[in-house]
Chains A and B, each alone.
Chain A
Amino acid sequence: MTVVGLLGLQGAFLDHIPHLKRCAVSYRIVRDSMALNAIDRLIIPGGESTVMAKFLEEFDMLAPLCRRIREGLPVWGVCAGSILLAEQVDGNAGSLSALPISVTRNAYGRQIASSVHFIDIPVMKQERYPAVFIRAPRIDRVGEGVTVHASRGNDPVFIQKEKIMATTFHPELNQDDCFHDYFLKV
């Protein structure tokens, strides 16, 4: 049976559990490199990217995780998770550097600027999906091989390259499971 890892260093990782239960897959909270070996997929949750990046490194998880991603581990980065996956963050080198994208953190402003936007997602046959953006990063550049599945105005907000996907909004805060369903098939 598929075991979905939830990176459990900080943030909203527990929020994915009801979705995964409804999708009938098991899950495991990942807080060390040992646990990284026991999972088939990984969700990097929303939260503070600075905190997650710091402890990935301090707990010696960065290199093993990069290796597993290179070997084909399907990964989904949500908001802060998309920042961790990016090649470039605010002009500097990113943490996992697994996706050829450049992002700007908190690009839409502070919390009072956070908002719900309705986006169309053809790949899921979703129209006007209510995407919750919270102090969201903006994807400023997508490199070769990256598919843009959905945008907010001109900004890509749901992208994928092979088995790596990123959303700059928070599907885990919605009741439906369409993103989790999709990720389990990636």
Chain B
Amino acid sequence: MAREKINKGFAEMFKNGVIMDVTTPEQARIAQEAGACAVMALERVPADIRKDGQVARMSDPAMIQAIMDAVSVPVMAKVRIGHFMEARILEAIGVDFVDESEVLTPADESRHVEKHQFKVPFVCGARNLGEALRRINEGAAMIRTKGEAGTGNIVEAVRHMRAINEEIDALKGFDEHQLIQLAGQMRVPVALVKETRDLGRLSVVNFAAGGVATPADAALMMALGSDGVFVGSGVFKSQNPPKMAHAIVQAVIHYQDPARLVEISKNLGTAMIGLEKEALDIKMAERGV
């Protein structure tokens, strides 16, 4: 119980901040210098994982530790969906947060990691309220949209954030019987559905992720109710990573101020090259429901 409070509370500290994917200590320092509130250590950014088309696994612990040594901000790292042993390894390294991520190749097609068994907090992706509540029920201390990682296309993240918001809004009109029925369909306790209805939002921090490539994308997701933003390939696949990183952080702070967003968005060089969703061979968002 105390652990749950400490871990959900830790996620609160990321709010209104940007968490950036980094693959080297040097990139981690650039991200921290640009104003990232945490970094995600991984060997390849999603755009490259997508291009390679190979099985993607947890990163080398030595590489993760080198990044932990390089920066003072919290460090996250990814495990494959359901791969509780990779999660045990990351916990033993001492990473601050584990991302059970659809960006890596799933290890278990029917189960996620039983996250209550761990001391380290977890963040998980979700496309809709059912996925979000199942992950929270398994012990996730933080949720993010899945979006479609490595595409530089914001459309899926918008869809997922809107879906979660609309489904939570709809709960207001539900009677007791409907709530019980919905909880059954979602395979979660009724109490969790009721808590969500009463709060009018998820009971944990909810970030946007998957497709954020510009300051405007980040500001859009904040305006849609995201508590903060993950940027994967969007920083280090852009023409000028330090500048783009800094601009995205500023856009999250000043998302309600269009005049500032104009200045923030100027002269950033080329953003990452985006992919239309029809052109994708792999839909990462469909992994781990």
Contacts and interface: CB of A to CB of B under 8 A. Distances in A.
Contacts of A116: 2, 5-6
A79 B2 CA distance: 18
Interface string B1-26: 01001110110111111000000000
Nearest to B36: A51
B35 A55 contact: yes
B96 A110 contact: yes
Interface string B259-285: 000000000000000000000000000
Given A106-B72, A111-B120, A112-B120, A11 B6 contact: no
Contacts of B121: 111
Interface stretch (A42-50, A65-73, A92-100, A138-146): A42-50
A50 B120 contact: no
A178 B13 CA distance: 21
B111 interface: no
Nearest to B15: A12
A14 B15 contact: yes
Given A48-B73, A51-B35, A112-B119, A12 B13 contact: yes
Question: What does DSSP make chain A's interface, helix, strand, loop or mixed?
Answer: loop
B94 A112 contact: yes
Nearest to B228: A10
Interface residues of B, number: 33
B9 A111 contact: no
Contacts of A105: 72
Interface residues of A, number: 32
B32 to A, nearest CB: 6
Nearest to A90: B72
B204 to A, nearest CB: 13
A81 B257 CA distance: 25
B71 to A, nearest CB: 9
Contact of A134 (B9, B35, B119): B9
B230 interface: no
A130 to B, nearest CB: 8
A46 B73 contact: no
Interface string B126-164: 000000000000000000000000000000000000000
B254 interface: yes
A15 B204 CA distance: 12
Interface string A106-143: 10011110111000000000000000101100000000
A48 B12 contact: no
Given A8-B16, A110-B95, 15 more contacts: A10-B15, A10-B16, A11-B13, A12-B15, A14-B15, A15-B12, A80-B13, A105-B72, A111-B10, A111-B74, A114-B6, A115-B6, A116-B2, A132-B5, A132-B6
21 contacts: A10-B17, A11-B15, A13-B15, A13-B16, A31-B253, A47-B16, A48-B13, A51-B17, A51-B37, A51-B73, A51-B249, A54-B35, A80-B13, A109-B94, A111-B74, A111-B96, A112-B120, A114-B10, A116-B6, A132-B6, A173-B12
Interface of A: 8-15, 31, 46-48, 50-51, 54-55, 79-80, 105-106, 109-112, 114-116, 132, 134-135, 170, 173
